[in-house]
């Protein structure tokens, strides 16, 4: 699998560990920043990751902020993104199985490294089940301009 990763300052400290986890599981990961723990705005980095994922078909994303809330809300504003805020291996696995999530989101201030490792493993090893879930997921996609918009820079 190919992943893109982006964080804000409150998710920055966990980023190196997450990259190591993804690589040790045999996957690829591209770091979209930031390159330091200086304060940044999570919508900017959510958008970078979300756009990379929709542009590079079949790729996935990981976004991290303090709680995972802001960065997941922001990523979900980009059409084609299903960012799932997860807290453990179960939610990470269900995010793939039932929601066909293409971005895994979590909060550095919420989860420990053991949980992070298990979430990444669950996310990578679980397939979307399709069937009735595919019908539900299709109902999330906007059918007109009244859906989600690419928010302003």
State the minimum distance, in angstroms, from the CB of residue 38 to ligand RB5. 12
**Which H/E stretch holds residue 61?**
strand 60-65
If we measure between CA atoms, which residue out of 43, 42, 60, 81 comes closest to residue 5? Answer: 60
- Cα end-to-end distance, the chain, whole Å: 29
Q: Pick the catalytic residue from 49, 65, 86, 124.
A: 65
- 27 catalytic? Reply is no
If we measure between CA atoms, which residue out of 31, 29, 93 comes closest to residue 60? Answer: 29
- 86 catalytic? Reply is no
Q: Which is nearer to ligand RB5, 67 or 102 (CB)?
A: 67
Q: Which is nearer to ligand RB5, 85 or 95 (CB)?
A: 85
State the minimum distance, in angstroms, from the CB of residue 3 to ligand RB5. 20
Q: Which is nearer to ligand RB5, 66 or 80 (CB)?
A: 66
CA 100, 32, 152, 11 dihedral sign is: positive
- Give the footprint of ligand RB5 on this chain (CB under 6 A): 8, 10, 42, 65-67, 69-70
State the minimum distance, in angstroms, from the CB of residue 31 to ligand RB5. 18
Q: Which is nearer to ligand RB5, 62 or 65 (CB)?
A: 65
- What is the Cα–Cα distance from 120 to 132, expressed in whole angstroms? 25
Q: Which residue's structure tokens are 């993804």?
A: 22
State the minimum distance, in angstroms, from the CB of residue 50 to ligand RB5. 15
34: DSSP letter: -
Q: Pick the catalytic residue from 27, 87, 98, 133.
A: 98
Question: What amino acid positions are annotated as catalytic residues?
Answer: 65, 98
């Amino acid at each position: 699998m190919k992943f893109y990763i982006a964080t804000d300052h409150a998710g920055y400290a966990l980023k190196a560990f997450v990259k190591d986890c993804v690589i040790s599981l045999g996957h690829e990961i591209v770091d979209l920043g930031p390159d330091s723990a200086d304060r940044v705005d999570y919508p900017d980095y959510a958008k970078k990751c979300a756009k990379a994922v929709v542009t590079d078909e079949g790729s996935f994303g990981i976004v991290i902020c303090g709680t995972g809330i802001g960065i997941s809300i922001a990523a979900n504003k980009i059409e084609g993104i299903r960012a799932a805020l997860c807290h453990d291996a179960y939610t990470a696995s269900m995010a793939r199985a039932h929601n066909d999530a293409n971005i895994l989101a979590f909060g550095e201030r919420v989860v420990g490294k053991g949980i992070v490792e298990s979430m990444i493993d669950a996310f990578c090893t679980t397939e979307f089940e399709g069937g009735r879930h595919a019908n539900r997921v299709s109902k999330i996609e906007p059918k007109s301009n009244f859906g989600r918009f690419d928010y302003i820079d």
